[in-house]
Amino acid sequence: MPVVVQKYGGSSLATAEKIRVVAGKICARRSSGVDLVVVVSAMGDTTDDLIALARLASGPSHVPDPREMDTLLSTGELVTATLMAIAIRSMGHDVVSLSGPQAGVRTDSRHGSARIADIDTTRLKRELGSGKIVIVAGFQGLAETEDVTTLGRGGSDTTAVAIAAGLKASRCEIFTDVDGIYTTDPRLVPDARKLREIGYEEMLELASLGAKMNPRSIELGAVYDVEILVASTFEDKPGTLIHGESRMMEVRKAVTGVAVTRNVGKIMVRGVEDRPGVAAEIFEPLAEAGISVDVIVQNAGADGKADISFTVAEGDLDRALAITERCQSCSAGGVTGGRGFSKVSIVGTGMTNSPGYAARMFRALSAAGVNIDMITTSEIRITCIIDAPLVEKAARSLHRAFGLHEASAG
């Protein structure tokens, strides 16, 4: 029988009643004649509640130990997995729940953001072989130290794709509270259209487009060629299939979607020496402080000096600014920071090696009266940093300019 791996997110499992509804869907799918492995997240806000408890236990002036946090947070998925197994058994199907470690998820020992090293499929195959539906607690694994690790936020997606790869499953299905991947955020652009399919690379760039997919799970899917369906748990609508470009059947558009990120803070460092090691001097202390730097732009100027600008989440701006000001190489020209920016990107593999998309993007923004503050590009993406209040206007104009409101063209 073909093996299908499913994953249900926490909002789909927030109450015992919802768990029973999902259990019914799982039983129906099993009866259709597939072997099923189902990865589950923690119920609703469980993870946030556990984090809050840990803060209370540690007191305000201490950060809870990452190893202890991992065991603590892993209990959330264990609870959902066992409740799901209990619900499924009450519906007459044979079932077993496995923790991440029991399911053979082996990771490195980076507590809080562990990477999957291997899936030992021995027990998964044994349980499937005995005719059971297998429920797996997502988000967690076992390090070589025999300690429980977690994969970071959204890690259950990664669990599901990794298990699908390990079992050579025919498909990985991610069920969530959105019904697929859209050409842009439907709350910003009423024209936004759901994509029937999308390639791995584009999906990686669009990861912020509302499906809240974990980029690592997409990467893993690309490497092991696992087809991933993103669909709604409770609405019976077709979702979006993420897969390799070669199987793409939809008439291709050059641009697949418009991605928007809000609450962007910007830091500019002027007149730094243009020599090797300067960038590391600026960005290493930020990384050590756990601050994610997003867009980085450097212009080499005259007289051996350069200007470096970069963006961080607005919430990190003050800390990032303080750290950057302490950097010796930055002291010469001065460090300035600002908030109130947004990021808007166009994404599409069709842009590769095709000229003119950047120009078309800038023209569309200009026509909409949107000034561009920073620009970066990758193979399949062009990103502009703009003033936050203009982001809706920018997204709408780009969505139209690249014909994303139409079913096919572009």
Residues that bind a second copy (CB under 8 A): 16-17, 19-20, 23, 50, 53-54, 56-59, 61-62, 64-65, 67-69, 71-72, 74-75, 78-79, 81-87, 89-90, 96-97, 99, 102, 123, 146-148
Distances (CA, A) of 355 to 196, 327, 360: 27, 39, 10
Closest to a second copy by CB, 110 vs 123, is 123
In the bound complex, what is the minimum distance in angstroms from residue 2's beta carbon to a second copy?
26
Q: Which is nearer to a second copy, 89 or 194 (CB)?
A: 89
> 86 vs 268, which CB is nearer to a second copy?
86
Residue 356, classed as helix, strand or coil, is: coil
User: How far apart are CB 25 and a second copy at their closest, in Å?
Assistant: 15
Comparison of 94 and 245: residue with beta carbon closer to a second copy: 94
Residues comprising the chain, all counted: 410
Q: Find the shortest distance in angstroms from Cβ 119 to a second copy.
A: 16
186-224 burial code (b ≥16 CB/10 A, e <16): eebbebbbbbebbbbbbbbbbbbbbbbbbbbbbbbbbee
- Provide the edge-to-edge strand list for the sheet that holds 171-176: 95-98, 133-137, 35-40, 3-8, 171-176, 228-232, 240-243, 197-199
To the nearest whole angstrom, how small is the minimum distance from the Cβ of residue 164 to a second copy? 23
Among the listed residues 137, 59, 67, the one whose alpha carbon sits nearest the alpha carbon of residue 97: 137
* Residue nearer to a second copy on the CB measure, 146 or 303: 146
25 or 393: whose CB is closer to a second copy?
A: 25
Residue 230 CA to residue 181 CA, distance in Å, equals: 7
Whole-number minimum distance, CB 50 to a second copy, in Å?
7
Distance CA 49, CA 334 (A): 42
Of 12 and 217, the one with the shorter C-beta distance to a second copy is 12
CB of 35 to a second copy, least distance (A): 20
Q: Which of 29, 38, 217, 185 is nearest to 115 (CA)?
A: 217
Cα(137)–Cα(134) distance, integer angstroms: 10
Q: At what angle do helices 391-401 and 357-367 cross, to 10 degrees?
A: 130
CB 392 within 8 A of CB 176: no
Query: Could you give the CA distance from residue 41 to residue 131 in angstroms, rounded to a whole number?
Result: 23
The DSSP code for 194 is B
To the nearest whole angstrom, how small is the minimum distance from the Cβ of residue 169 to a second copy? 23
Closer residue to a second copy, CB minimum distance, 104 or 257: 104
Residue 19's closest CA among 36, 35, 40?
A: 40
